[in-house]
């Protein structure tokens, strides 16, 4: 087992990983930007080093500085968390060359699965259903012909895309050229690769993903699904497990497909296979995330396994001690992402000093965060500042429990999205469990309409 791990991340996920290390008796090395010198992860780690300026490009993405700290501090492994360097094959390759264990899959696997075009081809060849569409097309005229063949509406997606970037929806052929060029330009600027392909736009659809753990000896377990269809601009807001939409037969099929996907690439460590599920229970491989996911805590609560500890054990060469037959889920788990933003002002990000903080607690309530009273939320990073997760015996009870927990949550001094989350939990479609990825668009439209009617009646 490792005796020292460097955590190449910040915020709640850095804290989450440090906790796992401490529970396992492993010392921790934190890195931080100038703006983060008072951050929680810096206070909790055994050692900490500033790796650069406020912008992530200067610090949390500063590969030479991070690798220097790893070598100098004697860390045997690096946990990348999510986002930042977690899916950066070049960084992982450098770790391998420096003899530092990267807690995740190999650089080759990350490169292969991060290329969405290559991933689709590999999955198709392995017999995993993929979204209908075409491979990467360079030529605009060829792309137009492919678009006509696939049919509208469709999605143009960047091969190297991620985090919702480099995606364009096209309704009619007349819009195609502009969308194709702008998707390509956005991807070129964000990922240094403008190559795009086309997928049929499946509608209405649910986003359901399967969590996997794979050791280095070809043992794979699937920890079931997370339903992530409550999304705004491709960013997840609420996740739950089990999915209210899955019958046992479809769940088994999707779990088998996820295992097949991992086997096809000899996958190692924790990974997530994202699927689209249509209204006829057809499902399609969308992508594989080769890292710890933001919403991993949902699966941890529903299965009782610690995914981060398992990531570390697997990287150190341990075997999975659990088999598929010994994985059970308990009740229903729901997660709400708490963001520093103002939903009433177009979800404008908020920053500043937290004047008063009260976090919900009680049995089967988990709040992962890195904020504390008097902490100053800096303007440079992701707006997600916490994840509230609850577990209960039934879905209805879990919804009630989450509403109660949200009502207790107090973060004064900055704007947070608490109230809109509570509204979503009371929405009939959410309560019915029959919501799709359209949910937030409809929800916001209805809210706007209701506001207009109220305003008119007042006038």
Burial 42-72 (b: 16+ CB within 10 A, else e): bebbebbbbbbeeebeebbbbeebbbebbee
Tell me if 187 sits within 8 A of 165, measured CB to CB.
Answer: yes
Please state the closest distance from residue 204 (CB atom) to ligand ADP, in A: 9
CB closer to ligand ADP, 61 vs 404: 61
Q: How far apart are CA 129 and CA 285, in angstroms?
A: 6
Residue number with CB closer to ligand ADP (200 or 322): 200
Binding of residue 269 to ligand ADP (CB under 6 A): no
Q: Confirm or reject binding of residue 204 to ligand ADP (CB under 6 A).
A: no
Q: Single out the catalytic residue among 291, 313, 337, 366.
A: 291
Residue 162 contacts ligand ADP per CB under 6 A: yes
Query: Can you tell me which of 117, 240, 274, 341 binds ligand ADP, judged by CB under 6 A?
Result: 274
Residue window 76-95: x/- pattern of binding to ligand ADP, with contact defined by CB under 6 A:
------xx---x--------
Q: How far apart are alpha carbons 199 and 150 in whole angstroms? A: 8
**Interface pattern 120-139 for ligand ADP (x via CB under 6 A):** -----------x--------
Shortest Cβ 133–ligand ADP spacing (Å): 7
Q: Which is nearer to ligand ADP, 207 or 251 (CB)?
A: 207
Q: How far is the CB of 216 from ligand ADP (least distance, A)?
A: 23
- Subset of 339-378 contacting ligand ADP (CB under 6 A): none
Q: Which of 79, 207, 387, 401 binds ligand ADP (CB under 6 A)?
A: 207
Active site residue 366: no
Radius of gyration of the chain (CA): 22
Q: Assign residue 281 a region: left if phi > 0, alpha if psi is -120 to 50, beta otherwise?
A: left
CB of 206 closer than 8 Å to CB of 236: no
- Ranges within 20-79 binding ligand ADP (CB under 6 A): none
Cβ closest to ligand ADP, residue 109 vs residue 294? 294
Query: Which is closer to ligand ADP, CB of 293 or CB of 369?
Result: 293
Candidates 71-79, 103-111, 194-202, 346-354; binding stretch for ligand ADP (CB under 6 A): 194-202
Query: Quick one: 115 or 287, whose CB is closer to ligand ADP?
Result: 287
What are the structure tokens assigned to 122, written together? Answer: 């590999």
Q: Considering the complex, state which of residue 104 and residue 413 has its C-beta at the smaller distance from ligand ADP.
A: 104
The strand ranges marked E within 37-90 are 47-52, 77-79
Q: By the 8 A CB rule, do 322 and 221 touch? A: yes
DSSP 346-380: TTEE--EE--EEE---STTEEEEE---TT-EE-TT
In the complex, what is the shortest distance from the CB of residue 435 to ligand ADP, in angstroms, rounded to a whole number? 12
Site for ligand ADP in 225-244 (CB under 6 A): 231, 234-236
**Of residues 90, 95, 37, the one with CA closest to residue 51:** 37
DSSP 297-315: HHHHHHH---HHHHHHHHH
Both tokens of residue 254?
């999707």
- Minimum Å gap between C-beta 13 and ligand ADP is 9
Give, in order, the Cα–Cα distances in Å from 104 to each of 30, 87, 300. 18, 9, 18
Q: Which residues lie near ligand ADP (CB under 6 A)?
A: 82-83, 87, 131, 155, 157, 161-164, 199-202, 205, 207, 231, 234-236, 274, 276, 286-287, 293-294, 382, 437
Q: Which residues are catalytic?
A: 291
């Amino acid at each position: 087992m490792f005796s020292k791990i460097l955590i190449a991340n910040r915020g709640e996920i850095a804290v989450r990983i440090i906790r796992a290390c401490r529970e396992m008796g492993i010392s921790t090395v934190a890195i931080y930007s100038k703006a983060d010198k008072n951050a929680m992860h810096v206070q909790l780690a055994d050692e900490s080093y500033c790796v650069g300026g406020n912008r992530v490009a200067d610090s949390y993405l500063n590969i030479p500085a991070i690798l220097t700290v790893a070598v100098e501090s004697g860390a045997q492994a690096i946990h990348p968390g999510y986002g930042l360097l977690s899916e950066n094959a070049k960084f992982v390759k450098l770790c391998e060359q420096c003899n530092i264990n990267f807690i995740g899959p190999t650089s080759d696997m990350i490169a292969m699965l991060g290329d969405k075009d290559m991933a689709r081809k590999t999955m198709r060849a392995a017999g995993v259903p993929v979204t209908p569409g075409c491979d990467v097309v360079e030529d605009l005229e060829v792309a137009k012909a492919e678009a006509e063949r696939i049919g509208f509406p469709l999605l143009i997606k960047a091969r190297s895309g991620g985090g919702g970037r480099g995606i364009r929806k096209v309704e009619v052929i007349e819009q195609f050229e502009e969308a194709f060029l702008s998707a390509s330009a956005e991807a070129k600027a964000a990922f240094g690769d403008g190559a795009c392909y086309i997928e049929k736009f499946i509608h209405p659809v649910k986003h359901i993903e399967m969590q996997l753990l794979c050791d280095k000896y070809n043992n794979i377990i699937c920890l079931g699904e997370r339903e992530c269809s409550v999304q705004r601009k491709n960013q997840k807001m609420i996740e739950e497990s089990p999915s209210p939409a899955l019958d046992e037969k479809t769940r088994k099929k999707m779990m088998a497909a996820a295992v097949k996907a991992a086997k096809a690439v000899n996958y190692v460590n924790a990974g997530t296979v994202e699927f689209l599920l249509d209204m006829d229970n057809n499902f399609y491989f969308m992508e594989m995330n080769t890292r710890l996911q933001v919403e991993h805590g949902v699966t941890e609560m529903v299965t009782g396994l610690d995914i981060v500890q398992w990531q570390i054990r697997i990287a150190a060469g341990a075997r999975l001690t659990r088999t598929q037959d010994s994985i059970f889920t308990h009740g229903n788990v729901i997660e709400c992402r708490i963001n520093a933003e103002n939903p009433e002002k177009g979800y404008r990000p908020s920053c500043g000093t937290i004047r008063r903080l009260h976090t919900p607690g009680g049995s089967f309530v988990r709040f992962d965060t890195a904020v504390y009273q008097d902490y100053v939320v800096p303007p440079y990073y992701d707006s997600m500042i916490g994840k509230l997760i609850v577990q209960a015996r039934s879905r209805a009870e879990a919804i009630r429990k989450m509403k109660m927990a949200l009502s207790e949550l107090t973060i004064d001094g900055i704007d947070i999205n608490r109230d809109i989350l509570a509204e979503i939990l009371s929405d009939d479609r959410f309560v019915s469990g029959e919501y799709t990825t359209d949910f937030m668009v409809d929800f916001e439209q209805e809210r706007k309409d209701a506001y207009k009617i109220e305003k008119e009646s007042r006038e």
